[in-house]
Amino acid sequence: MAKGKNTKFKSILIVVVVLFVIITGGLLVFLSGLGPVDNKNEEPVTVNIPSGSGSSYIVEILDENGLVKNKTFAKIHARIGGYNSLQANTYIFTKSMSVPEMFKAINTGDFDYLSKEKLTIREGLTIPQVADAVAAEMPFSREEILGKWSDRAYLKQLIDEYWFLTDDILNEDIKYPLEGYLYPETYFITEENPSIESLTTMMLDMMDKQLSEIKSELEKNKYSIHEILTLSSIVEKESSNVSEAMPEVAGVFFNRLNKGISLGSDVTVNYIFEKDGVELTMSQLNSDNKYNTRKFTGLPPGPICSVNIKAIDSVLNYKDTDYMFFYATPEGEIIFSKTVDEHNKAVEEHPWTEEQAE
């Protein structure tokens, strides 16, 4: 009897071992089928996942792009893997990635694997220059972009969407309505076919984020957001090369505003004629354009360039001094003065042009 029991036990053990080998082997085959097509191939493969794609269809897309080793096993994994938030987008994968790695990236919309176009908008750029930067990277012309950004129906829609945009931007004296509102930043565009509207939203959303963090400070200020951005843009242009001087430059402008003296900023005159530099003609300085702060007191109708949070903060937290003038020298220094005689002396000692040196 003992011998029979022993034989039966051995038979069961053999069956268990065989089943274990079969299951383990099957699992290894299954896992291998989910593995990379080519471990050493790091060449990028662009994959577009359309909106509404299910897990099985995504496997088909991956397979068509040569990224799947075993389509049947991949579909089984996709079905039982718990992927419940698969995100449409354009992804960059490689043949060295496994099916689970790719599905995880698609399920989370992993930024590291998204196809990205880089768009850099620098502080200090005017709206035409921003349009040029966008046109250089995107399939839109400068004229198309500027046309959209001056479309009053579109602008009114944006005013309804963003708390910081007001009817101030529709003022007939304003040169470019969205001037100063498109936040300068390096953007990564992950849409397959971005539109001018979606790019505009991206830049306004960033401005929204920046301004929302200081919203209470903005609401307590006696100046409107439009006025703060306007002055911030002038400070940006006047002191971009000496950014640490921004609060002091802003302080000079507030002193002049408080005394009813014109801001006397040449950069606002440059804005009228869409130029840079220090040489201005008498006819330009005498322009009747409302942006001419050499002629008119108070703030111009709107911002003159894109501004970052540092320039905005310098206006909100300006340095209180007795200075009424400042002068940016060719050497990259800003000299502050209390009197016009002190200011003229600074100009004479650090001339930009031959005329100033005479």
Mean pLDDT of 315-323: 97
What is the DSSP annotation of 193-248?
S--HHHHHHHHHHHHHHHHHTTHHHHHHSSS-HHHHHHHHHHHHHHHGGGGGGHHH
Residue 187 has what pLDDT? 93
* Dihedral angle over CA of 181, 184, 185, 186, nearest 10: 110
- Percent of the chain at pLDDT > 70 equals 90
pLDDT band at 215 (very low <50, low <70, confident <90, very high): very high
Residue 321 has what pLDDT? 96
pLDDT band at 9 (very low <50, low <70, confident <90, very high): low
Q: H-type helices in the chain, by residue range?
A: 2-34, 55-64, 71-80, 99-108, 127-137, 142-148, 152-161, 196-212, 215-220, 225-239, 246-258, 266-273, 282-285, 309-316, 340-349, 354-357
Residue 243 has what pLDDT? 86
Mean pLDDT of 168-184: 97
Residue 117 has what pLDDT? 85
pLDDT band at 240 (very low <50, low <70, confident <90, very high): confident
Residue 306 has what pLDDT? 98
Nearest-angstrom CA–CA distance, 166 and 24: 67
Tens-place pLDDT, residues 247-265? 999 999 999 999 999 999 9
pLDDT, averaged across the chain: 90
Q: Is 16 left (phi over 0), alpha (psi -120 to 50) or beta?
A: alpha
Tens-place pLDDT, residues 22-78? 666 556 665 678 889 998 999 999 898 988 889 999 999 999 999 999 999 899 988
Residue 19 has what pLDDT? 65
pLDDT band at 242 (very low <50, low <70, confident <90, very high): confident
Strand-pairing partners, residue 98, are none
Strands 334-337, 117-120: pairing is unpaired
Mean pLDDT of 107-134: 93
Residue 355 has what pLDDT? 55
- Percent of the chain at pLDDT > 90 equals 72
